[in-house]
Amino acid sequence: MSQPAMSIAPASAAAAERLRHLEHKLQAGLWIRDLESGRLEWSPGVYALYGLDPETVPPSRAFLETLVHPDDLGVFAEYDLAVAEGRNFEGVHRLIQPRGRVLWVRIQSEVLFGREGRPVRVIGVMQEIAREQSVDSKLASLKSRYDALVRAIGSLVWTARPDGFVREYQNFVEARSDNDRAAKFLGFGWKSIVHADDLAATERAWEEAIAAKKTLETEHRILHADGSYRWTRSRAAPIVNKDGSLAGWKGVSVDIHAERDWSVWSGDRPITGAQIRAARGILNWSVKNLADEALVTAAAVRRLEEREDEKPKAALNRIRSALENAGIEFLFPAVGKPGVRPA
């Protein structure tokens, strides 16, 4: 359905001249949209920015969309949402004039309300801006979205120099709830909060990643405010300059304590057939070896290894005791499958 449209016409010639002069100096244009009738009005400044002839081209949203750079069409969806919610809007997009000239344009609009509190009109201004200004605006928008993403993932996000010296971090307080220790993470202070048993492996992983300019991935225990250590997986991607030199690192440290929180079986959870087979593998025991050590039949061992339904408790306890006495520890992580390891 076509919408009625017209150009903004000042009440007098003097007013029209002042508007033309102001728009020319500011490289700007004014537009008005009536929400009830759908009527759209453009000032002479809008026509000048679009590179259009007001005598031949009536104001049209559909026609405007053909002039906006394809990568920037999302600005219309953002504008429509702002109007629907009755709030002001500001956005930046590229405008391609009919002759091919590309302009960066900032648009600002305000919704006007009638006596009944309903939105009745939108008045807006569009102005040509320098490319640098548009880039700054887009960077600010991207940073805002990035910050929201960092808050959403709830992990520690950080940036480091080529040598692993941490320059800045995000979400430290949210991730670790520890204001007092937050500053210690900067520089090489992160070494002070890595568990002593994990520090050498972490430093070695850093050295290898730096030397090869490859992604760092390491797991270590990190000290928290309550004095406990929690398992954390740290990954960092190298930032490489055009000449191949290393510019730095962007990293993220994610709490994986639930995955690594192994607890020794205490009798309330039965060991599985897979655990029994794995334990025999560690000890290099045959079914007969285990049967002899546990004082059960070989058939009982095979049955317990192969069936996951209800197991005879007495035979299972003998097998567990025999394997534990031989140096096996049965583990049950909060996340993942049960496992075994040498005690």
Give residue limits of the domains in the chain. 5-140, 155-260, 273-342
The amino acid present at 244, given as its one-letter code, is G
Query: Which pLDDT does position 322 carry in this prediction?
Result: 92
What pLDDT score was predicted for residue 26?
75
Q: Which residues contact 115 (CB under 8 A, 6 or more apart)?
A: none
Q: What's the CATH fold of domain 155-260?
A: Beta-Lactamase (3.30.450)
- Residue 253, strand partner residues: 156, 234
Query: Which of 180, 187, 182, 164 has its CA nearest to residue 172?
Result: 182
CATH topology of domain 5-140: Beta-Lactamase (3.30.450)
Residue 176 is predicted with a pLDDT of 47
CA dihedral 178, 173, 158, 222 (to 10 degrees): 30
Flag residues of the chain having pLDDT under 50: 1-6, 173-179, 265-266
| 288 φ/ψ sector (left φ>0, alpha ψ -120 to 50, else beta) | alpha
* The two domains 155-260 and 273-342 share their CATH topology (first three levels equal): no
Under DSSP, is residue 23 helix (H, G, I), strand (E, B) or coil? helix
At 71 the pLDDT is 81
Cα dihedral 93/97/100/106 (nearest 10): -20
| pLDDT at residue 297, as a whole number | 92
The pLDDT assigned to 255 comes to: 83
Q: Supply 109's token pair.
A: 């609009």
Rounded Cα distance, 195 and 175, in Å: 17
Q: How far apart are CA 274 and CA 252, in angstroms?
A: 34
| 120-174 confidence digits (pLDDT tens) | 999 999 888 876 555 566 666 666 666 666 666 667 888 888 988 887 776 554 4
Pick the CATH number of 273-342 from 3.30.1330.10, 1.10.150.530, 1.10.260.40, 2.40.110.10: 1.10.260.40
From residue 335, how far is each of 206, 229, 259 by CA, in Å?
28, 18, 5
Q: How many CA atoms lie within 13 A of 99 on its CB side?
A: 8
> What is the C-alpha separation between 208 and 195, in angstroms, rounded?
20
